[in-house]
């Protein structure tokens, strides 16, 4: 999958950077082809070619529909919509560091703090000593990415942490999403093992040893939780009145959901007291009912989960007792298309494979495809879909749950839908 994805991304960037297929042919003839470089600011991921929008949607139209938006003036971002900003950050998190910095600095006119390329845990040998443990690391690869930015360089009102999500051609990411393994953490209940590893778990058998409060690792191989915790701790000292929003799409949403729980477990009250809320998009389930109760009663943060139509990822891992006991928590905002959003207790077809939803899922896939062909004409050029996006929607005619997972639909939902309470 990775090989196919790399070739597909290279071809898409080759065509885009040379001005289209016809211009590419001309550049080949004239020996002036622009060769894509993966680390350049103009190199886009497959996600970026589905939806290349970078500008924020400057509208407060959702204030009356979304409780988190009630008093946006308190965090001093003017006409920027937090829902749109968090989703755009979650979408841009799929890109390389140079692209991300360019988006934050030149398009959003905000202050870029840093891009974090962190290592995932493969295995860990533990030797008990007088000091209780001596951790010998065996790291697999830098597989977890995130970035942080502020709305201003000085006296910032808002700090945003965005985690990268499931990459379309990354088999490891998809296997993590569907994995049913979890780890008992004690008072926090059971949490998805793969997501904990992505945040930096150091022992997959013992949570207390796997996530000690302090970690003294090597700077060139940072673990996500510790690196991001340190960065946020420094930022809230620099920006005394700033509020933190944590966001992510897909796998990124899962990491965003778990991150505050680990802060609470380690009594990082300074960071938690500065948090405004967690906003996730297409987030899979991350733990059991005990974990959900811990988040809602102990951490007590505003947590909003956006779900678009029959997106398959928020419906996995499964909630099918006694085989699987994963549960969602927080407030679910369900988009039944781009124009309708509603606060719901449970989204339809909660485990995806219910036969009674087969026809509605395929009907929705056809409906989105047909409307997408004319969306630019009906809603403005900002909503015009690329050829790549249309091709991706065609995949929904085969597996609709995959097509509904596109960040584009979450951006469209946030910009077009009126979100009402159930």
Query: 């090989």: which residue's tokens?
Result: 3
Report pLDDT for 418. Answer: 83
Phi, then psi, of 59 in degrees rounded to 5: -150, 140
Q: How many angstroms separate the CA atoms of 318 and 326, rounded? A: 6
Distances in Å between the Cα of 290 and the Cα atoms of 135, 325, 345, 387 are 29, 10, 18, 45
Q: How many angstroms separate the CA atoms of 194 and 11, rounded? A: 32
The pLDDT-based confidence of 207 (bands split at 50, 70, 90) is very high
Annotated catalytic residue 250: yes
Query: What percentage of the chain carries pLDDT values higher than 90?
Result: 78
Per DSSP, the residues of 280-326 read EESPPP-B-HHHHHHIIIII---EEEEEETT-SGGG-S-EETTTEE-
Query: What percentage of the chain carries pLDDT values higher than 70?
Result: 86
pLDDT, average across residues 327-345: 94
Q: How many angstroms separate the CA atoms of 279 and 289, rounded? A: 20
> Which range, of 60-69, 94-103, 115-124, averages the lowest pLDDT?
60-69
Report pLDDT for 384. Answer: 96
The pLDDT-based confidence of 236 (bands split at 50, 70, 90) is very high
> Judging by DSSP bridges, how do beta strands 134-150 and 111-127 pair with one another?
antiparallel
**In the predicted model, is pLDDT for residue 159 greater than 60?**
yes
Q: What's the CATH superfamily of 60-348?
A: Alpha/Beta hydrolase fold, catalytic domain (3.40.50.1820)
> Judging by DSSP bridges, how do beta strands 158-163 and 243-249 pair with one another?
parallel
Catalytic residue among 311, 319, 368, 409: 311
Tell me if residue 329 falls in helix, strand or coil. Answer: coil
Catalytic residue among 45, 86, 250, 364: 250
Report pLDDT for 175. Answer: 62
Give burial (CB, 10 Å; 0-12/13-18/19+) of 255. buried
Two tokens, residue 403: 């097509």
**In the predicted model, is pLDDT for residue 387 greater than 90?**
yes
Q: Which residue has the higher pLDDT, 234 or 171?
A: 234
pLDDT, averaged across the chain: 88
Give burial (CB, 10 Å; 0-12/13-18/19+) of 218. exposed
Q: How many angstroms separate the CA atoms of 362 and 339, rounded? A: 18
Instruction: Indicate the helix (H) or strand (E) that contains 28.
Output: helix 21-29
* Cis upstream peptide for 322 (omega within 30°): yes
Instruction: Indicate the helix (H) or strand (E) that contains 208.
Output: helix 207-210
User: Would you say the pTM of this structure is higher than 0.85?
Assistant: yes
Distances in Å between the Cα of 263 and the Cα atoms of 147, 226, 258, 303, 416 are 18, 10, 9, 15, 34
The highest-confidence range among 110-114, 212-216, 337-341, by mean pLDDT, is 110-114
pLDDT digits (tens, 9 = 90+) for 39-68: 999 999 999 999 999 999 875 444 434 555
Report pLDDT for 390. Answer: 97
Catalytic residue among 264, 274, 405, 406: 405
Report pLDDT for 124. Answer: 38
Query: 């701790």: which residue's tokens?
Result: 233
The pLDDT-based confidence of 125 (bands split at 50, 70, 90) is very low
The pLDDT-based confidence of 99 (bands split at 50, 70, 90) is very high
Report pLDDT for 172. Answer: 62
Report pLDDT for 123. Answer: 39
The pLDDT-based confidence of 313 (bands split at 50, 70, 90) is very high
């Amino acid at each position: 999958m990775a090989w196919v994805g790399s070739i597909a991304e290279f071809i898409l960037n080759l065509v885009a950077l040379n001005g289209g297929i016809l211009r590419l042919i001309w550049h080949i003839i004239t020996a002036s082809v622009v060769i894509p470089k993966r680390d350049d600011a103009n190199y886009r991921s497959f996600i970026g070619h589905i939806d290349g929008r970078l500008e924020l949607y400057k509208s407060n139209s959702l204030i009356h529909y979304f409780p988190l938006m009630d008093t946006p003036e308190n965090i001093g971002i003017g006409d920027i919509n937090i829902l749109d900003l968090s989703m755009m950050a979650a979408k841009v998190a799929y890109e390389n560091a140079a692209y991300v910095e360019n988006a934050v600095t030149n398009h959003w006119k905000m202050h870029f703090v840093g891009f974090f390329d962190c290592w995932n845990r493969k295995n860990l040998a533990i030797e008990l000593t007088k000091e209780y443990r001596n951790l010998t690391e065996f790291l697999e690869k830098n597989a977890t990415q995130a970035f942080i930015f502020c709305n201003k360089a000085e006296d910032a009102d808002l700090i945003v942490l965005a985690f990268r999500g499931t990459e379309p051609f990354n088999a490891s990411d998809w296997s993590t999403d569907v994995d049913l393994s979890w780890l008992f953490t004690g008072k926090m209940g059971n949490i998805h093992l793969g997501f904990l590893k992505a945040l930096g778990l150091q022992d997959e058998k013992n949570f207390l040893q796997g996530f000690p409060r302090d970690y003294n690792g090597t700077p060139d191989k940072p673990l996500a939780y510790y690196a991001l915790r340190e960065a946020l701790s420094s930022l809230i000292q620099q920006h005394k009145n700033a509020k933190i929003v944590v966001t992510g799409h897909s796998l990124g949403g899962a990491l965003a959901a778990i991150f505050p729980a680990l802060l609470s477990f380690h009594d990082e009250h300074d960071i938690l007291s500065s948090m405004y809320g967690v906003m996730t998009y297409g987030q899979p389930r991350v733990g059991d009912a005990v974990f959900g109760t811990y988040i809602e009663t102990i951490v007590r943060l505003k947590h909003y989960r956006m779900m678009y139509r029959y997106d398959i990822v928020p419906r996995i891992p499964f909630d099918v007792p006694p085989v699987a006991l994963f549960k969602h928590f927080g407030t679910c905002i369900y988009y039944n298309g781009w124009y309708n959003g509603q606060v719901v207790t449970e989204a339809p077809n909660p485990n995806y494979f219910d036969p009674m939803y087969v026809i509605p899922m395929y009907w929705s896939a056809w409906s989105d495809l047909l409307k997408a062909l004319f969306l630019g004409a009906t809603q403005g050029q900002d909503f015009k879909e690329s050829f790549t996006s249309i091709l991706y929607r065609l995949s929904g005619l085969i597996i609709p749950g995959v097509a509904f997972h596109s960040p584009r639909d979450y951006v469209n939902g946030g910009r077009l839908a009126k979100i009402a309470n159930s």
